[in-house]
Amino acid sequence: MSRLRKRPAQRFIAFFVKPLPGFSPTSWQDVPKNYRVIDYVGPKQFRGRADAWRFMENKAVLDNSQSGNGSDDKNSIEKWAVVID
């Protein structure tokens, strides 16, 4: 009798990064081409969980920059969430 193979759990690695100047996102899904890693958050299981975390973090940054509560320079983003699969 054969055993069913379990599909390996997919893990997504989460980071907070500081994008280089000139990165101006229009969506929480945007990823800077060049950045410096600030903090390693750790693995996230499943694509939905990783995207939910990234949405919460990046949406807050976008809302602050649009409402004027962020830094004076809107093109300067101090912390951006990135997920690598």
The CA distance from 52 to 67, in Å, is: 22
Residue 16: name the closest of 80, 85, 84 by CA: 80
Q: How far apart are CA 30 and CA 42, in angstroms?
A: 20
Would you write out the chain's pLDDT as a tens digit for each of its 85 residues? Answer: 677 777 767 889 999 999 999 999 999 999 999 999 999 999 999 989 999 999 999 999 999 888 776 555 555 789 999 999 8
Residue 6: predicted pLDDT:
74
What's the pTM? Answer: 0.78
